[in-house]
Each structure stands twice: as structure tokens, then as C-alpha cells.
Structure 1
Amino acid sequence: MASTGLQVLGLVLALLGWVCGALVCAAPQWRVSAFVGGELVIAQVLWEGLWMNCLSQTTGHIQCKTYDSTLALSTSVQAARGLTVLSLLLSILAVMLGVAGAKCTHCMGDSNQASKARLTRIAGVLLIVAGLAYLMPICWTAYATVRDFYDSNVAASLKRELGPALYLGWGASVLLLLGGALLHVGSSAPVGRALPVSGAAAKPSPSMGPAGEVKQQEKSFV
């Protein structure tokens, strides 16, 4: 019963991580414009994401535009795109395998528990890989943003700060990793204990050994 609860909890966390990851992938707030000058009035805020950038004004008007060319983007943005999309695809595949192999489902029948447990463990490993793949572009974007912010050679107008999408991305990665770990632990086979040797099994057979020969000789003389 405990392993079934771990599997269900792992699937729920994996689904939440996938939803958060999809929102982060589409959100344009990976990096926001930083105001390090002496201006007190901020009229516009620039948001930058993987697929578009947006210009938010104090009046509430937001204007977004997708990037014109993928090849014109930096290598880090292209790699972040590929890793996030790959992570989302692996996550949805892992969730499908986890649902098929969970103990509380009947997708593969109830008689094939060993195959179902193996399938769920594979789903857990895929979720862990997906979480690590999603974590890499998030951490790299945060590192590059902080590095450029404190670089004196970068102009003040080009400095950026960490956007709220990065924090949600860290949460999505943690959910995927926890979901994969719970699925794998909940599907692991319990460690069997060695059965004690019974006393009757340890006794010699009455027809074998010296004692058995003496009994047979006594019977022959009678």
C-alpha cells in the first residue's frame, strides 16, 4: 500500500512539474530589464524569453513580438529551447509509462506485476533525466544574467535581472526530480529475507548415516 501511495504521489508531482515547465517554456519573463541608473520613473519594462520578447508599459499595455529568425539567436538560447522541449517530451512520455505501470491501474493486467514495476522504474529514470535537462538551461540563464549584470563592460541599458519564469523553472525541475525519485522508489522490489532452516531439515535421514545402519542391523536380527 505504501508503494502504491508513493507511485501516485510521484505521478502527481510529475504532472505538476510538466505543467509548470510548459508555462515557463512559453513565458517571456526569463530575463527582465534592469534599471541601474539614476532614473526614478520607469516607463517601460522589457521582458525576454525563449520565443519572444515583450515591452510592458506603466499604462498596462503589453506588446510582444516573436523572434524573427532562430538562427540569429545566440547559441545559449537555441540550446535552452532544445533542452526545454526535450524535457517536456520526456516528461509526458514518462507520465504515460508511469500510469501504465502503476499498481493502481489495470493497463497491463494484474498478473504481470514484475513487468509493471519495471516499466514504472523506467518512467522514474526518464523523469529524473527530464528534470536535469530542464534544470540546465534555467541555471545557465541565471548564471549568464548575473555575470552580465556585474560586468562593467556591459552597458547599463543591456543589463538584465532574473525574471519570475526562472524561479518557476527551478520549482518545475524540483517537482520532476522528486516525482521521478518517488516513482522509482515506489516500484523497487522489496528486499527478501532468507528463510531460516528448519530443525527437521537439519536432522539426518533415518535411512542414511551410521545411525540408520545400526537400526537396519537390529531389524535384521529380530
Structure 2
Amino acid sequence: MKPGGRQLLGLVLAIFGVLGSIISCALPTWRSPEWRKSEGLWKSCNFDYSYYPRPTTECKSYDSLLALPQDLQAARVLIVIAIIVGIFGVMVGVVGGNCTNLVSNTRKNSKVAIASGIIFIISGVLVLIPVCWTTITIAHESYNEEYRMGAALHIGWVSVGLLILGGSLLCSSRPLKKETSYDVKYSQPPSV
């Protein structure tokens, strides 16, 4: 695959990873302590399935930060930082892409693409930490109660994969070899 195509594919995958982390942050389904209840980063929801054609959902924000479990408190901070870092990576990737003329030199273009790849990998690790922590917490708490992983965690796992894969593709676009503009001339040996 050509370096320009690799950069474009990496940038598209990373953009989808950033969008997935935004969706994962917004969804109120990080974990389900009961069958009719779910907890998210910003609110908890109760589902009422007694109304058959159309079940009702009642969501409310947390009363205080202390009402939120410790893993979800840390996940709030890390996911928001990961989204900010990911958006910065998108901006750097668009500026340094081969499809734009914002950077004049192709060697500098490749370096900017590598920098955006590193930023996307950092964003992926920042999403990976809360997703893993919440998954491990759910696994430990499921012995005592019926805890299940919610849809936001599954979207978070996919986002981690897309961010790291896209960042790796961007990092694999090496800069071109430095070409010299001058000719090398050797002096002739003296005759005997």
C-alpha cells in the first residue's frame, strides 16, 4: 500500500475511533447492576418494560460525584481527556495528510503524520484504561450481584482498537529518504 493510502486509511480509522469514544462517553449504559437499570458516566437509567408496544425509560443525573462508583469517576476524567487528545490528533492528521497542501515539504508531511499517529495511540490508551478498569470491576462484582457489561463498554473496546490501529498505520508512514541537491565530486589521485 502506498504511504498516502496508508495515511488516509489510518486517519479514517482513527476518526471513527474518536467518534466511538464520544458515543461511549455519552451513552448511559456502561454497566447494568440489574435487569432494568443501567449506569453510565453522567446518568443512570431505569427501564420499564410493562408498557408493551413502547417501553419507557427514566434517566436522571447523579446527585453528587460521590454517588458515582470509583471506576466510573476515573472513567469520566480519562474519557474526556482521551476525546480532547483524539480531536487534537484529527486536527494534526488533517494538516499533515498527503491529501492536503498545508505542509509544503513531503518529508515534513510524513513527520506530522507520524506525530498524529502517536497522538491517536495515546488517545487509545486513555480510552483503554477506564474500559479495562470497569470491565474488571464488573467481573469482580458479578460474583455477589448480577452485573453486566453495557453497550458503551463494547463501543469503547472497538474504539480502542480503531484508535490504536489507525495510529499505528499513521506511524508506519516513514518519511522519504533525504535527497541531496548537490553532486559529489572526487579529486583525482596525483600521477606518479
Asked if Structure 1 and Structure 2 have the same fold, meaning a TM-score greater than 0.5 normalized by the shorter chain, the answer is yes
**Is 1:19 matched with 2:10?**
no
Q: Name which of 141, 148, 170 aligns with 2:134.
A: 141
Q: How many residues align?
A: 182
**Is 1:189 matched with 2:180?**
no
In the TM superposition, residue 116 of structure 1 has moved relative to its aligned partner by 2.0
Q: Deviations over 1:103-126 (max 9, x none)?
A: 1111123xx222222211111001
Q: What are the ranges of 5 or more consecutive residues in structure 1 without an aligned counterpart? A: 36-44, 193-200, 214-222
Distance in 1 (CA, whole Å) between partners of 2:134 and 2:68 is 14
Partner AA of 1:173 in structure 2: V
Matches within 5 A, 1:107-118: 107-109=102-104, 112-118=105-111
Matches within 5 A, 1:51-70: 51-58=42-49, 59=51, 60-70=55-65
Distance in 1 (CA, whole Å) between partners of 2:176 and 2:106 is 13
Q: Deviations over 1:32-59 (max 9, x none)?
A: 1346xxxxxxxxx101111000001112
Distance in 2 (CA, whole Å) between partners of 1:71 and 1:54 is 17
Partner AA of 1:142 in structure 2: T
Matches within 5 A, 1:1-222: 2-34=2-34, 45-58=36-49, 59=51, 60-109=55-104, 112-150=105-143, 154=144, 156=145, 159-186=146-173, 188-190=174-176, 205=188, 208=190, 212-213=191-192
Partner AA of 1:20 in structure 2: G
In the TM superposition, residue 191 of structure 1 has moved relative to its aligned partner by 6.3
% same residue: 35
Considering only aligned residues, what root-mean-square deviation do their CA atoms show, in Å? 2.1
With 115-124 and 132-141 compared, the bigger mean Cα shift is at: 115-124
Partner AA of 2:19 in structure 1: V
In the TM superposition, residue 16 of structure 1 has moved relative to its aligned partner by 0.7
The structure with the larger Rg is: 1
Partner AA of 2:41 in structure 1: L
Partner AA of 2:21 in structure 1: G
With 26-35 and 59-68 compared, the bigger mean Cα shift is at: 26-35
Partner AA of 1:149 in structure 2: S
Could you say which residue in structure 2 is the equivalent of 1:198?
A: none
Distance in 1 (CA, whole Å) between partners of 2:23 and 2:163 is 14
Distance in 2 (CA, whole Å) between partners of 1:191 and 1:181 is 20
Task: Give the structure-1-normalised TM-score.
Answer: 0.76
